[in-house]
Copies of this chain bind each other. A is one copy, B any other.
Amino acid sequence: MNLEELAQQIDDEGRLPADAGLRDYIASQHPADIAGFLSRLDNEPAWQILSALPLTLRASVFGYLEPSEQAELARHTRRGELAAIVSEMNADERADLFNKLDEEQQQALLPALSQAEREDIRRLASHEEDTAGAIMTSDYATLRPGSTVREALDQLRLQAPDKETIYRAYIVDEERRLLGSIRLHDLILASPQAGIDQLMERNLLTVKITDDQEAVAQQISKYDVLALPVVDEENRIVGIVTHDDALDVLEEEATEDFLKAGTVGGIEESVRDASIGLLYRKRITWLVLLVFGNLLSGVGIAYYEDTIATYVVLVFFLPLLIASGGNAGAQSSTLMVRALATGDVVMRDWGRMLGREVLIAILLGGTMAVAISGIGLWRGGPDIAMVVALTMVLVVMVGSIIGMSLPFLLNRLNLDPATASAPLITSIADAAGVFIYFAIASALLFGGGE
């Protein structure tokens, strides 16, 4: 039996199996796996299992849960139990959890913690969401300038049990202003008598408390570092952001962009467990906006109602043509939204991109026109085929230009380029397509006049 099967069994039976070996089996698994297992269970059995684990493991497992799951579970605990777990957690995870608790839970928790823990939580939990301050931890190692390598190693040995990482230590003056940093790697290699002032790196990469978490994560990725120090206005170190936080942030931001591209608002908790009301709220706004956006296509059709009444066959090609403009535009916006998000393309590339896009769109539209013109001939004769082919090239070009330019425009207006979602581009391109199609049809089929 593995944890997956066990979760299934508990789900089916609605209670824990009465197996004495169960606790030991679960305790032998990796904390991250135990956390994954618990988050598949209801709160009641999840808490029963969690509270049966040894304290250190319990805190570690608890730390691997999502903050929203932690807060949920916290409701099932007695005050003392929660405090014991919280004391054992990493400083940054502890602060995240604290922010998810309701006020009553917060007030119940605080008195059970030590004063130092309380102050640390208050400080870390006070930073704005999605900033470096909100994801940093205060569990970093510091050294004083003027130490020898031997003294530095002794210092790190003392600090190690409480720190998230000792692989880079920060050298600070009395006011905690950052002077430099040194890798444990280099300390190990150096002579014990050497001074750390000669060995430390002074050209420091740092981030500010208020920096956006995504930018911080991208720096960690770009510079391939284990952690980045966070400093305040006076260059005093206040925390570090570590590589595992960078991974979580990049995953979270990728999800947010992906959902936005599908016109779904950001969902912080698991989609599996999200409520009907939450999902409704995250979806309805864009759906209703797009309904009214699509009214424009209807207006175009109404305007050409006489043309349609005369040539009903035109309606046969309508969905196909307007969808093609939207599809090409969705491709262009997808490429640009991602390229702007990863920094692959910047604002001043717009002109060059646009020129290239027009050429590509002519090639794409031309290919699609050829693909469809046979059917145009068969259903409507040469005139209709000509109208359809010409429209195809034009709608693909217009759709592509809109799709490529809108992300840049949004970026220029300091809005999120990812708002240029496929459905939005499709709506705009649809409306443009209707007008292009019937304008060409009116001109060619009625010999210039309507």
CB within 8 Å for A345 and B271 given contacts A189-B157, A323-B290 = yes
| B261–A356 touching, CB < 8 Å | no
Query: Does A78 interact with chain B (Cβ within 8 Å)?
Result: no
Query: Does A52 interact with chain B (Cβ within 8 Å)?
Result: no
Which bucket holds chain A's interface residue count? 35 or more
Partner of A319, one of B188, B247, B297, B342: B297
- Beyond contacts A271-B335, A305-B315, A323-B426: 18 other A-B pairs, Cβ-Cβ < 8 A, are A32-B224, A36-B222, A167-B167, A259-B334, A262-B333, A262-B335, A267-B335, A270-B344, A272-B344, A276-B356, A280-B364, A287-B327, A288-B371, A291-B320, A291-B368, A298-B320, A308-B315, A323-B423
| A247–B246 touching, CB < 8 Å | yes
Query: Does A410 interact with chain B (Cβ within 8 Å)?
Result: no
Query: Does A377 interact with chain B (Cβ within 8 Å)?
Result: no
| B221–A247 touching, CB < 8 Å | yes
Q: Bound state CA distance, A330 and B180, in angstroms?
A: 50
Query: Does A415 interact with chain B (Cβ within 8 Å)?
Result: no
Query: Does A55 interact with chain B (Cβ within 8 Å)?
Result: no
CB distance from A267 to the nearest CB of B (A): 8
Per-position contact with B for A287-307: 1 when CB-CB < 8 Å, else 0?
110111011011101100100
Query: Does A148 interact with chain B (Cβ within 8 Å)?
Result: no
Query: Does A49 interact with chain B (Cβ within 8 Å)?
Result: no
Q: Counting chain B CB atoms within 10 Å of each CB, which of A64, A220, A284, A333 scores highest?
A: A284
Per-position contact with B for A213-254: 1 when CB-CB < 8 Å, else 0?
000000011111010000000000000000110111011001
Point out the residues of chain B lying under 8 angstroms from A287, CB to CB.
Answer: 324, 327-328, 331, 364, 367-368, 396
Q: Bound state CA distance, A32 and B218, in angstroms?
A: 12
